[in-house]
Structure 1
Amino acid sequence: MSEVAKKKKKERKFPTAFTVLFIVLIIAAVLTYVIPAGSYDRLQYDSENSQFVRIGSDGEETSLEASQEVLDELNVTVPLENFVRGDIKKPVAIPGSYHKLEQSPQGFFEVARAPIDGIADSIGIIVFVLLLGGCIGVLNTTGTFDAGIAALSRKTKGKEFLMVAIISSLIALGGTTFGMAEETIAFYPILMPIFLASGYDAMVTIAAIYMGSSIGTMFSTTNAFSVVVASNAAGISFKEGMNIRIITLLIGQAISLYYIYRYAKKVKNDPSKSIIAEEMPRIRKQYLENYDPEHTAPFNFRRIGMLVVFMLAFPVMIYGVMNLDWWFEEMSTLFLVVGILLMILSGLGEQKAVNSFLDGAADLVSVALIIGVARAINIILDDGMISDTLLYNASNIISGMNGVLFSTVQMVLFSFLGIFIPSSSGLATLSMPIIAPLADTVSIGRDVVVSAYNFGQGWMAIIAPTGLILATLEMVDVSYNKWIKFILPLMGIILILSVVMLGVQTMI
């Protein structure tokens, strides 16, 4: 091979996150031409009028009496009290109501418009990300992060991975209890410089945060957005099968931490062994450009106060999500208030403080746009009316299976469906009324179906482009192929663990 050819080969890079998403977007549009369109009718409880509303695929609504008899007639096995108590907030699919529809292919105009609609639909999380970036900008301009990192590095010297393990485990705890996922975006700008200063690469930071969240949500215990809503939609208590999920959570987190530890130790001993060794000079410059452990700004009262204000926002945010039904609007309000307080405390002066906030927000515009484009893929699939068809065919595949095969194939199918329906609560309310009753026909508990759904969707979310991973990678400037290379062995181990534990749950 000539030197020119070698140089060209070396310069060939993996596509950016935007390109990957647009490729997936085009594939999704092609699928709307190939996969037959179809839909289930939906049933929703109208709490104001204490009645059911049957929603047809054409949007036509029919009022029905809110009674157990109506549910029995529709073969909906969700108990009436689950609707009345408000446990089922989204419309559920009505078993046996699937019917084919006229094909609704998504052409050039629909594909071109989808990212715009995706950004509009994702405005809540986009505003949250931009306000977070603004807060980070003020902290960076004042040297607060650099001073804090230096102080923390001195305290944790020789025990750096203990910090990684504790942070990852706390995030996993948040994931399993209340579904901490999108909220973790706030942690990357904080933890990245700390982990880099400890001698690790950016992949350790991503793995500690993202896999902590992924393991937690995959093996949820009390997560209202997945296992609770799925159990309610399946007509069972979320406590059924919890023991297995707790055991699997502990084993899965231990495996994940050991995997990260081995990689982190290898990279710390020899930085050239890093999967992202070529990118690390650029990443270190981005996060540690002004960081010199010997010449950092003093960690004085002003900087300590700013860091305390910023860090206190996180327990407040977590409390609000868990207990006050907060979502992105409330979380964004919190960080707007924090940003204003930081600008006041910074001592930078009005103009410089505001400009540092705006510069920080600008740094995360690409992340915000990626979130919108990822949502565009779901819009294309929804408008193409093929998601229900995929669910209908999936239910036909597992019908009649039994034992371990039943649970294993379910998990694989839920992994596949998770690409097209990345919303955990959306997939639960759509699929459980259809698939959960199949467990009755083969004398298996419905809790097995709930676990298979949770394990399957959570497993695929580790790499699914329609989820959070591309926004995460854009935030830390790491390419998607490097993440795949790093995570695939761990995904294989977690898959084996999940299948084994589903088999155990099937037999007990």
Structure 2
Amino acid sequence: MTKIKFPTAFTILFLLIAVVAALTWLVPAGEYTREMNETLGSVAPVPGTYRQVAQNPQGLSAIVLAPIAGLYDPALLGSSASAAIDVALFVLVIGGFLMVVTRTGAIDAGIGWLLTKLQGREHLMIPILMTAFALSGTSYGMAEESLAFYALIIPVFLRAGYDTLTAVAVVMLGAGIGTMGSTFNPFATVVASQGAGIAFTDGIVLRFAIFLVSLAAGIAFVMRYAARVKSDPAASLVANMADENRAHFLTLDNSGEMPAMTFTRGIILGLFGLSFVAMIYGVLMLGWWMGEMSALFLSMSVVVWGVGKLSPATRMDEATFVETFLDGARDLLGVALIIGVARGVVVVMDAGKITDTILFAAEGMISGLSEFLFINVMFGIQFLMSFLVPSSSGLATLTMPVMAPLADFAGVGRDLVVTAYQSANGLVNLFNPTFAVVMGGLAIGRVPYDRWLRFVGPLVLLFILIIVALLSIGAAFS
């Protein structure tokens, strides 16, 4: 009997685009009046102004154009969504940078040194790294930036006896849990609080509780899986890809051993780490985004090439350097393209004018509910809306001006609405197929989407229980 094969991420996303396009024929088109919201500093829906408008169904041409529009010009379909070309370009440049550094042998030499120091204690990498990524998520909402770390983390975990799924989980769950439990993340908590008309510090104690409890649960979950894989590699959810993944992510010198750590490779590793420190500093302190980050890694590729000339073992001529950079970009071309396809889902929905209709229906669902029901139904609505609008700032701008005032009638603090929104959005974005960071990270780590769902599913259910319990406690004391 032929075994049914789960479709690739590209097929899943194209099917979602087709489903959303079909919905634009069935769901009434509508929109809220949008005005400049001075508190938010952007255009936002005005509560109570929803009205139906002429239907704008999206046909076959829209489905075909959606990935292109999602990548570089949403206006092709009449959508106001943002394009993904900057993220895609960043991914390609990161691929080139990583390949140049890898070609010098510096990464594998560094991994060898690290594993020697951690011998017998490799499992400690999981809580340390997940906590570091979670702190980045809770503070500034690490998302697209995390794509730069997969190719660094995966070889370390493979050398330590784990699988690629463990490494992907450390990065994706670490940063994702931090975003789910955002404390003062400017792209989620601050934007949503401004839309709700409250200080972003309101409700911070509850958000800290969600962050800490969820992080502890996530670390325990990943460590349990990792220990099982290390003791029995056949228990890995990607066991059938083990040899292929090791060949893809690991390199050896001509003797079949890991490259030796030399002075030149040490300098290159220092530059490698400095690149990521500079990226984080630029994002947090200088307002950098994808353009500046891409320029940083492009520049550092040239610097690494120059330093590599100091030693015959790391030296490349100009033609080899360019070819190596292009090979790295080529390896991540599929990741760059999938980002555009994922964004295409939002573009079609926005162009079909059904986003506001769905928001209006959600508004009607929570009117007149008790405190307990209100906050949990609000969480459920934001959970569903996050599939349609994966962007944290985009979802906050869309829903907070409409949803937050309803809390006043339910006797619930508006800070709970903010917490319900960001918890739901962060939770969904741990597995959301329309979220480019999820599909991009899985593509880099060579983890099929269905295997990721099998892995993360039980943890998502646990997170739902944690969040619902803490939201209910917050509503009881509101």
Cα deviation for residue 458 of structure 1 reads 1.2
2:71 is matched with: 119
1:418 is matched with: 386
Task: Check whether the contact 2:165–2:445 (CA below 8 A) recurs between aligned residues.
Answer: no
Structure 2 residue 459 is the aligned partner of structure 1 residue 490: yes
- The residue identity in structure 1 corresponding to 2:96 is G
Q: 2:299 is paired with a residue of what secondary structure?
A: helix
| Post-superposition CA distance 1:122-150 (Å, at most 9, x none) | 11111111111011111222222221111
Matches within 5 A, 1:243-392: 243-290=205-252, 295-346=257-308, 347-392=315-360
Return the alpha-carbon distance in structure 2 between the equivalents of residues 295 and 289 of structure 1: 9
Q: Specify which of 395, 398, 409 is matched with residue 427 of structure 1.
A: 395
2:48 is matched with: 96
Structure 2 residue 172 is the aligned partner of structure 1 residue 210: yes
Cα deviation for residue 14 of structure 1 reads 1.3
Return the alpha-carbon distance in structure 2 between the equivalents of residues 213 and 296 of structure 1: 30
Mean CA deviation greater in 294-303 or 101-110: 294-303
Instruction: Tell me the TM-score normalized by structure 1.
Output: 0.89
Return the alpha-carbon distance in structure 2 between the equivalents of residues 390 and 461 of structure 1: 19
Return the alpha-carbon distance in structure 1 between the equivalents of residues 93 and 381 of structure 2: 38
Task: Check whether the contact 1:131–1:339 (CA below 8 A) recurs between aligned residues.
Answer: no
Task: Check whether the contact 1:185–1:472 (CA below 8 A) recurs between aligned residues.
Answer: yes
Structure 2 residue 10 is the aligned partner of structure 1 residue 18: yes
Return the alpha-carbon distance in structure 1 between the equivalents of residues 14 and 192 of structure 2: 31
- The residue identity in structure 1 corresponding to 2:177 is I
Structure 2 residue 183 is the aligned partner of structure 1 residue 221: yes
Structure 2 residue 43 is the aligned partner of structure 1 residue 43: no
- The residue identity in structure 2 corresponding to 1:481 is D
Instruction: List alignment gaps of at least 5 residues for structure 2.
Output: 73-82, 309-314
| Post-superposition CA distance 1:460-508 (Å, at most 9, x none) | 1111111121111111111111000001100010000000010111122
2:148 is matched with: 186
Cα deviation for residue 291 of structure 1 reads 7.0
Return the alpha-carbon distance in structure 2 between the equivalents of residues 165 and 369 of structure 1: 32
- The residue identity in structure 1 corresponding to 2:337 is L
Cα deviation for residue 296 of structure 1 reads 2.1
Task: Check whether the contact 1:90–1:426 (CA below 8 A) recurs between aligned residues.
Answer: no
Task: Check whether the contact 2:101–2:301 (CA below 8 A) recurs between aligned residues.
Answer: no
Task: Check whether the contact 1:32–1:384 (CA below 8 A) recurs between aligned residues.
Answer: yes
Matches within 5 A, 1:383-402: 383-402=351-370
- The residue identity in structure 2 corresponding to 1:197 is R
Q: Specify which of 106, 118, 124 is matched with residue 162 of structure 1.
A: 124
Task: Check whether the contact 2:138–2:181 (CA below 8 A) recurs between aligned residues.
Answer: yes
Aligned residues: 460
Return the alpha-carbon distance in structure 2 between the equivalents of residues 232 and 119 of structure 1: 29
Structure 2 residue 57 is the aligned partner of structure 1 residue 105: yes
Return the alpha-carbon distance in structure 1 between the equivalents of residues 152 and 307 of structure 2: 19
Q: 1:132 is paired with a residue of what secondary structure?
A: helix
Q: Specify which of 470, 473, 483 is matched with residue 442 of structure 2.
A: 473
Structure 2 residue 370 is the aligned partner of structure 1 residue 405: no
Task: Check whether the contact 2:29–2:354 (CA below 8 A) recurs between aligned residues.
Answer: yes
Please provide the CA RMSD for this pair: 1.3
Structure 2 residue 21 is the aligned partner of structure 1 residue 34: no
Return the alpha-carbon distance in structure 2 between the equivalents of residues 318 and 136 of structure 1: 17
Distance 1:401-1:237 versus aligned 2 partners, 3 A rule: same
Distance 1:209-1:266 versus aligned 2 partners, 3 A rule: same
Q: 2:120 is paired with a residue of what secondary structure?
A: coil
Task: Check whether the contact 1:118–1:376 (CA below 8 A) recurs between aligned residues.
Answer: yes
Task: Check whether the contact 1:150–1:293 (CA below 8 A) recurs between aligned residues.
Answer: no
Return the alpha-carbon distance in structure 2 between the equivalents of residues 198 and 90 of structure 1: 47
| Post-superposition CA distance 1:345-379 (Å, at most 9, x none) | 22211111111111111100000000011111111
1:456 is matched with: 424
Task: Check whether the contact 1:343–1:354 (CA below 8 A) recurs between aligned residues.
Answer: no
Task: Check whether the contact 1:44–1:90 (CA below 8 A) recurs between aligned residues.
Answer: yes
Radius of gyration: which is bigger? 1
- The residue identity in structure 2 corresponding to 1:94 is V
Mean CA deviation greater in 36-45 or 358-367: 36-45
Identity in percent: 40
- The residue identity in structure 1 corresponding to 2:188 is S
| Post-superposition CA distance 1:197-239 (Å, at most 9, x none) | 0011111111111001111001100100001110011000111
Task: Check whether the contact 1:422–1:466 (CA below 8 A) recurs between aligned residues.
Answer: yes
Distance 1:293-1:159 versus aligned 2 partners, 3 A rule: farther
Distance 1:268-1:40 versus aligned 2 partners, 3 A rule: same
Return the alpha-carbon distance in structure 2 between the equivalents of residues 32 and 370 of structure 1: 23
- The residue identity in structure 2 corresponding to 1:411 is F
Instruction: List alignment gaps of at least 5 residues for structure 1.
Output: 46-82
1:70 is matched with: none
Task: Check whether the contact 1:114–1:380 (CA below 8 A) recurs between aligned residues.
Answer: yes
- The residue identity in structure 2 corresponding to 1:490 is L
Cα deviation for residue 293 of structure 1 reads 10
Return the alpha-carbon distance in structure 2 between the equivalents of residues 29 and 118 of structure 1: 14
Q: 1:44 is paired with a residue of what secondary structure?
A: strand
Q: 2:58 is paired with a residue of what secondary structure?
A: coil
Q: 1:297 is paired with a residue of what secondary structure?
A: coil
